[in-house]
Amino acid sequence: MLLKNYRPKPKLVVKQTQVTRAKFQVIDAHNHLGELFGGGWDKKPLPGLLDQLDQAGVVAYVDLDGGWGEEILNEHLDLFKQPAPERFQIFGGVDWGKWAELGNAFPAWAANRLKIQKERGAQGLKIWKPFGLHVRDHLGALVSVDDTRLDPIWQTAGELGLPVLVHVADPVAFFDPIDEANERWEEIGQHPDWAFTSPPFPSFMSIMTGFYNLVKRHVKTTFIGAHVGCYAENLGWVGQMLDDCPNYFVDFSARLSELGRQPYSARRFFLRYQDRILFGLDAGPDLQSYQINYRFLETDDEYFNYNSGEIPLQGRWYINGIYLPDEILAKIYYHNAARLLKIETK
């Protein structure tokens, strides 16, 4: 039998809780609406999207797809923000491809474009994971995450009051050799372009150290580390960065697989940093995925799948809930993001 055909059915008898709706209203601070990551809602009627969010109890939704480019930013502002301003925030981005054309003038140009994006309606800045892996300057050199030439961008974001949501690196295993010891071997096999084996890519820790230096240097700018600060496998490291950088927050989008297999550590992390953690799905407005997240946060259920498919997508393990207290759930679901994103508390 081939491993791809293996379908083990657990015989463990444990409590199963159906959580159809979050205990409190939800702000989804990390998600998408475009075709690639968000289900293509930019090609569907808006009432259907609002109905999906209503069913999940999501009262505000941050769409990060505006960060792909200003044409998409403007399109999404028109499609979502303009007709439903209280339900959507659209983040802008940086066009790294312009560096080759503009040379040394690029950082100032990018900072100025950020001002224009805010005037148009963008409410934050999204930095995608090519930063640190693929972005190169006009001389063809790979740009480090903490390159001081880019300081005008981060300073301008701080001056404009725009939070900067950053995804650098990726799961640690993506940087390891793709062999029998790699815990994400199946996933990388399905997505070979997700492999960033070092070398030739920079090491995972060199990227994370650069990210730390960047956030630490720009104390007047608010940063959000996507996916549990891009290092969900090491909550101690993420916690230390939160301790060292008061201007730093994290979301836990698309990382139930990591958090749920370390439930004791994850629960302690959520309790300690309850004011610095944002809810995010990163799976489009998918009701079943929302419900799995709610189950993880609210129940003490054991050994359940962290996604809706038959086989766990990111590794063949199951997760456990962390049963957070109500006062902390309210912060994670709503109040932290409302404060950070300047959403009127309801």
When the pLDDT of each residue in the chain is averaged and rounded to a whole number, the result is 96
φ/ψ of residue 228, rounded to 5: 55, 50
Question: Tens of pLDDT along 83-99?
Answer: 999 999 999 999 999 99
Query: Mean of the pLDDT values across residues 245-256?
Result: 98
Task: Please state the rounded mean pLDDT for residues 125-139.
Answer: 97
Alpha-carbon distance 138 to 231, whole Å?
30
CA distances from 63 to 110, 125, 222 (A): 21, 11, 18
- Is 309 a residue whose pLDDT tops 90? no
Per-residue pLDDT for 125 more than 90?
A: yes
Domains assigned to the chain: 25-172+204-284+326-340 (3.20.20.140)
CB-based burial of residue 48 (10 Å sphere; 0-12 exposed, 13-18 middle, 19+ buried)?
exposed
Tokens representing 176 are: 């390891």
C-alpha distance from residue 233 to each of 174, 180, 252 (Å) = 12, 19, 12
**Of 264, 258, 262, the residue nearest 183 (C-alpha):** 258
pLDDT at 346 over 80: no
Question: At residue 196, does pLDDT exceed 80?
Answer: yes
d(CA 334, CA 24): 8
Q: Which residues contact 277 (CB under 8 A, 6 or more apart)?
A: 249, 250, 251, 252, 270, 331, 332, 336
Phi, psi at 112, each rounded to 5°: -70, -40
Span 185-195, mean pLDDT? 94
Position 9 scores a pLDDT of: 86
Q: Mind listing the pLDDT tens digit for each residue in 137-173?
A: 999 999 999 999 999 999 999 999 999 999 999 999 9
- CA 106 – CA 152 distance, rounded (Å): 10
168 contacts 130 by C-beta, under 8 angstroms: no
Question: Does the pLDDT value for residue 345 go beyond 80?
Answer: no
> Under a CB-based contact definition with an 8 Å cutoff, are residues 232 and 260 in contact?
no
What are the tokens at 326?
Answer: 């109500």
Query: DSSP per residue over 227-277, as a string?
Result: HHHTTTT-HHHHHHHHHH-TTEEEE-TT-HHHHTTSHHHHHHHHHHTTTSE
pLDDT for residue 3 is more than 90: no
Contact 315, 187 (CB under 8 A): yes
Question: Sorting pLDDT into bands at 50, 70 and 90, what band is 305?
Answer: very high
Q: What is the pLDDT of residues 38-64, one digit of tens each?
A: 999 999 999 999 999 999 999 999 999
Give the mean model confidence (pLDDT) for residues 274-298. 98
With bands split at pLDDT 50, 70 and 90, how would you rate the model's confidence at 104? very high
Three-point CA angle 55, 126, 79, nearest 5°: 50
Can you give the pLDDT at residue 31? Answer: 98
Band of the pLDDT at 344, cuts 50, 70, 90?
Answer: confident
Given this model, what pLDDT does residue 156 score?
98
